[in-house]
Amino acid sequence: METADLFTELRSLGLGERLLTGDAQLAAFGSDALTAFHQRPLAVAVVESAAEVAAVVRLCHRRAVPFVARGSGTSLSGGSLPVGEGIVIALNRLDRVLSVDPDARTAVVEPGVINLAVSAAAAPHGLAYAPDPSSQSVCTIGGNLAFNSGGAHCLKHGMTSNHVLGLCVVLPDGEVVDLGGDSTEHVGPDWTAMFSGCEGLFGIAIEATLRLVPIPESVRTALAVFDSLERAGDAVAAIVGAGLVPVAMEIMDPLAIEAAEASVSPGYPRGGALLIVELEGEEEVVEGELAAVEGLLRDCGCAEMRTTADPDERALIWKGRKSAFSAVGWLSPDYIVQDGVVPRTRLGEALREIERLGAERGIRVANVFHAGDGNLHPLILFDGREAGAVERAEELAAEILALCVELGGSITGEHGVGVEKREYMKLMFSAADLALMEDVRAAVDPGRLANRGKMLTPPPPAASRSAAAA
């Protein structure tokens, strides 16, 4: 009866048939891109306005019902996994680019806008939106913001948080507040940066003011083949050590190359490792930097090199790289995508150790990653139909994350913690650190209604919390 009352109240907000409660309707919302986790929500509210978002959140707050915001569901860490007794607030219909200001180089968008649509709206003004996750043709700005997404070109341009100037958000109690503004110059605490990457624990963004960048005059993309991942990693360190900052540096191993060729046929040269280096800027500067990069690649043992400025050829190169995650499905019925980070200077060491760990367990690992910032994306291949295969794959994934922390890195670069890496937070943070994070979260959301169960485990015992306070 209580659930029926909740549904009646939700419908009274004007949702009507946009309140989904049937089993068939809810099936599509039971998991995100990390399909290893599945949970049936109580209901899904398909909202069509910012006012409806606030109204649903206020109702959830009043009834102490947990809620999860969801865009396209492309999270790879279970970040938009529903809560069993909670409501999913689907934001896909909030998909308008509200304005583009070419003079201020800003765009104001709703959270359901597809990442690539921002650049499409800005292109007539000679501008673009820089963050470009591999899923940019389907992922939404709201999800990018929640997980502080990066992408192949984050080496030079930075993560989502570097391109968000202001936000309008609904806090977990339903209050609507403005954070930041339309300028990079702010006075006081940077609440916008704090909200970026909070994985939905601080509420739901309903509008974002984004920074745009000029479309570069010249872009050159180089493909370099090496006989090993270690040498390719060393080449990355050499380029950065020489003071050069390409817009992107990506590495793919033979398995990842094989998968990309099977999927979209980008025509990659074959070898022990493929390094993609992209440079952009004024034409004269780019040509000078390209010559320097080519010399460093040869010094590091590059076996073959190609360069292109042709837009179609460049698009195919990036199509191959960005298809790598899904393309691995051509090689294996099941796989786990990991997301650890290591210092650039230890890339070669990390890759060598991942290869050893995979060989020990008899598990193939396809490596594809943002080499410029040391963000590894090892794809652990397995067949879930085999007895114990899932457990072995998960054990290897845990070992790789532990390796990243041991080498001075992190358990995540851009996929977030979600539910997948929640138990690994203790590898990086002390009990006191985690207790302090929980205190901050509780100050914003005492009932822990917003995206409950993500990133942080349940509150630690009182003794640990008092130690953090001390």
458 band by pLDDT with thresholds 50, 70 and 90: low
Judge if 298 and 275 occupy the same domain.
Answer: yes
Judge if 101 and 210 occupy the same domain.
Answer: yes
What's the full length of the chain, in residues?
470
469 band by pLDDT with thresholds 50, 70 and 90: very low
Judge if 77 and 148 occupy the same domain.
Answer: no
Place of tokens 């997948």: 420
User: Considering its fold, how many domains does the chain have in total?
Assistant: 5
pLDDT of 465 strictly over 60: no
In terms of DSSP bridges, do strands 87-90 and 43-46 run parallel, antiparallel, or are they unpaired? parallel
For the segment 140-171, what is each residue's pLDDT rounded down to a tens digit? 999 999 999 988 888 899 999 999 999 999 99
The per-residue DSSP string of 113-156 comes to SBHHHHHHHHGGGTEE---B-TTTTT-BHHHHHHHT--BTTHHH
In terms of DSSP bridges, do strands 365-370 and 334-337 run parallel, antiparallel, or are they unpaired? unpaired
**Number of neighbouring beta carbons within 10 Å of residue 309:** 14
Best CA proximity match to 451, nearest among 238, 200, 156, 237: 200
CA distance 277 to 452: 40
Domain presence at residue 342: yes
Best CA proximity match to 113, nearest among 125, 126, 124, 100: 100
Domain presence at residue 438: yes
CA distance 39 to 470: 38
CA distance 121 to 212: 11
Q: Is 91 exposed, middle or buried (0-12, 13-18, 19+ CB in 10 A)?
A: buried
- The 8-class DSSP code of residue 353 comes to H
pLDDT of 446 strictly over 90: yes
Angle between helices 431-444 and 462-469 (to 10 degrees): 90
322 band by pLDDT with thresholds 50, 70 and 90: confident
Judge if 83 and 162 occupy the same domain.
Answer: no
pLDDT of 337 strictly over 50: yes
**Number of neighbouring beta carbons within 10 Å of residue 452:** 19
CATH number of the domain encompassing residue 127: 3.30.465.10
Widest CA span in the chain: 73
Q: Do the beta carbons of residue 113 and residue 45 sit within 8 Å?
A: no
Amino acid at 125: H
3-state DSSP helix/strand/coil percent for the chain, to nearest 5? 40, 20, 40
H/E element, 232: helix 229-241
pLDDT of 470 strictly over 80: no
CA distance 411 to 348: 18
Judge if 226 and 203 occupy the same domain.
Answer: no
CA distance 156 to 216: 13
Domain presence at residue 423: no
Domain presence at residue 422: no
**Number of neighbouring beta carbons within 10 Å of residue 335:** 22
Judge if 257 and 355 occupy the same domain.
Answer: no
CA distance 209 to 62: 30
Q: For residue 3, what pLDDT is reported?
A: 87
pLDDT of 64 strictly over 50: yes
Judge if 209 and 229 occupy the same domain.
Answer: no
CA distance 126 to 149: 23
Judge if 52 and 124 occupy the same domain.
Answer: no
Domain end call among 214, 246, 266: 214
Phi, psi of 378 (to 5 degrees): -65, 135
In terms of DSSP bridges, do strands 67-70 and 87-90 run parallel, antiparallel, or are they unpaired? parallel
Q: Is 126 exposed, middle or buried (0-12, 13-18, 19+ CB in 10 A)?
A: exposed
**Number of neighbouring beta carbons within 10 Å of residue 104:** 14
462 band by pLDDT with thresholds 50, 70 and 90: very low
Best CA proximity match to 393, nearest among 334, 326, 352: 334
CA distance 72 to 137: 10
CA distance 200 to 444: 11
pLDDT of 97 strictly over 70: yes
Question: In 300-430, which ranges are continuous DSSP H helix?
Answer: 311-322, 324-327, 347-361, 389-406, 425-428
Judge if 104 and 201 occupy the same domain.
Answer: yes
In terms of DSSP bridges, do strands 304-308 and 334-337 run parallel, antiparallel, or are they unpaired? unpaired
CA distance 433 to 439: 10
Q: Which tokens sit at 342?
A: 């290591």
Can you tell me the mean pLDDT for 328-339? 87
Q: Is the pTM of this model over 0.75?
A: yes
Q: Is 23 exposed, middle or buried (0-12, 13-18, 19+ CB in 10 A)?
A: exposed
Domain end call among 166, 195, 214: 214
Judge if 220 and 291 occupy the same domain.
Answer: yes
Q: Do the beta carbons of residue 447 and residue 460 sit within 8 Å?
A: no
Q: For residue 184, what pLDDT is reported?
A: 76
466 band by pLDDT with thresholds 50, 70 and 90: very low
Judge if 104 and 186 occupy the same domain.
Answer: yes
Judge if 413 and 434 occupy the same domain.
Answer: no
CA distance to 73, 232, 310, 332, 371, per residue, from 250 (Å): 25, 10, 19, 22, 5
Residues spanned by the domain of 65: 2-90
CATH number of the domain encompassing residue 384: 3.30.70.2740
Domain presence at residue 160: yes
Domain presence at residue 326: no
CATH number of the domain encompassing residue 280: 3.30.70.2190
- Could you tell me which residues come within 8 angstroms of residue 311 by beta carbon, excluding any fewer than 6 positions away? none
